[in-house]
Structure 1
């Protein structure tokens, strides 16, 4: 014990000798702490994009997620949000979202789609894991939470970021839910931040009768906003409760306070110049052609993009999402 406290005593003596205040370890405020943390296994599968669209399950995958329950009695059942990370994996921004959800009385389930598959990042190689496979993970997380004694099964939302936003937004599809979801469970709301909307899937405007909310930065050159404007217009024309909120200064990942205002990502794969459409047998073609899209060789794929934090837009998106979830999950 003495050996552990000696450095602290030495630090205090040194501070006193120099006329400085003694060092004190900062203590987090109680509101910043979850009531309980559980790390839960998630059994999923890993289909390729074509396999997913054909309804093929793919190889089994053993994943995990961290459930953070808000403070409160152990008998309380609370709403929950499944957080689906992007190409860079789980970040400090994900942690901040989870903390803010807990403060609002909502459980957060931080789903890890990478570690169990031996992946660290897909930024430079998106073929390491198809975005659609992460939708299977999201459905399995939904099933897991729906059976949890502390979670309200009818008040589980899903929120995704970039690559993970494909899972969060398109899991509202009645077709995809029919292929991979449990008919007993469905998400109560779908939220996507800077969602890749540039692939048109068969029947993707036919969605569950639940709200879909997209949030996107106007100046995003990694995942551009224009395809999401088109997709939300198609959803609304089909009768869906869908909106797109635009943030004028938002770069990609503009909600991440750990990032500077502008970050060059020179090796990032970006499909900002690509428009794609599902063809026969689940093959993704360049829109208006029979030419198959290939991540590593299609001419429309760009290398290099930017991310960056904008404090004003970040505060706005967090306030907008929090207000929406209070309405959607506590009604």
Structure 2
């Protein structure tokens, strides 16, 4: 019995150590407000320990919004904020919906807060706020987004007069990461050129924002001599990087590949694991 107890204690300690390695240290976000183009934006800030200066990331929520009904940050956004802060990045997540008095937009076809306009302006407002902070390296602020926020990311780094006009003051974004964006509209226009290195991460089986149009977008960028990479995970669907979300069929969605309003979403463990390793390495270059 004594030997069994000792072995159990050792195995328990080993498992606890492995879990500590895989789980980021919890970093409570700071609630802040910052000036936007048409509203005062609410945002949450995940900040590493110490004075900095740190590289930073503007992170843009998807069509479901940044906050849950109970006021907490959504699990996927919280998970990434904590992970990146634990690896030395300051992460600012602006809320594009609450300050404009709109709720989740996944079921809304007539959206008044658009990736190409208001949300793009929010991304640059967040970048400028970070660049004004003493704990941030102004030239090392990157952009990252999910789904609707990923589409915003593509617009915000597009090499065009409209996107450059939205920048305002300060250095441009250093790099950009887009998780499962809707690429169809941008790809259809042709000639997409990102101003900064771009990484797109998607599920090969995504039937909400399908991968093929994003492949065309990356081909356009490469043809123009720009740096763009697409990684598509076999078997993965929308929201593949969410922590512990079972794969379910979402219904009543405004835009899906089949136009039926139905699409699958949920965690793909292999894709999530790869993204957790790949994204910080890409941002740190």
TM-score (norm 1): 0.72
Aligned counterpart for 1:131 among listed residues 115, 140, 158: 115
- Cα distance in structure 2, aligned partners of 1:109 and 1:315: 23
- Cα distance in structure 1, aligned partners of 2:169 and 2:193: 16
Please list every run of 5 or more consecutive structure 2 residues that lacks an aligned counterpart in the other structure.
Answer: 1-19, 67-73
- Change beyond 3 A, Cα 1:103–1:158: same
Judge conservation of contact 1:192–1:215 (CA < 8 Å) in 2. yes
1:32 and 2:32 matched? no
- Change beyond 3 A, Cα 1:204–1:170: farther
Aligned counterpart for 1:319 among listed residues 273, 277, 284: 277
- What is the CA-CA distance between 1:33 and the residue it aligns to? 3.0
- Cα distance in structure 2, aligned partners of 1:127 and 1:71: 42
Judge conservation of contact 2:197–2:227 (CA < 8 Å) in 1. yes
- SS of the residue aligned with 2:222? helix
- Cα distance in structure 2, aligned partners of 1:168 and 1:247: 20
Greater Rg by CA = 1
1:222-261 deviation per Cα after TM superposition (whole angstroms, max 9, x unaligned): 110000000000000001010101111211001112410x
- Cα distance in structure 2, aligned partners of 1:220 and 1:82: 25
Say what the alpha-carbon RMSD is for the aligned residues.
Answer: 2.1
Residues 1-331 of structure 1 aligned to structure 2 (within 5 Å) = 32-34=25-27, 37-45=29-37, 60-72=38-50, 74=51, 76-90=52-66, 91-128=74-111, 129-132=113-116, 133-175=118-160, 176-200=162-186, 205-208=192-195, 210-260=196-246, 262-272=247-257, 301-327=259-285
Judge conservation of contact 2:256–2:262 (CA < 8 Å) in 1. no
- Cα distance in structure 2, aligned partners of 1:207 and 1:251: 25
TM-score (norm 2): 0.83
Q: Count matched residues.
A: 254
- Cα distance in structure 1, aligned partners of 2:263 and 2:256: 10
More strand by share: 1
Q: Following superposition, which runs of at least 4 residues in structure 1 exceed 3 angstroms of deviation?
A: 201-204
Please list every run of 5 or more consecutive structure 1 residues that lacks an aligned counterpart in the other structure.
Answer: 1-28, 46-59, 274-300
- SS of the residue aligned with 1:127? coil
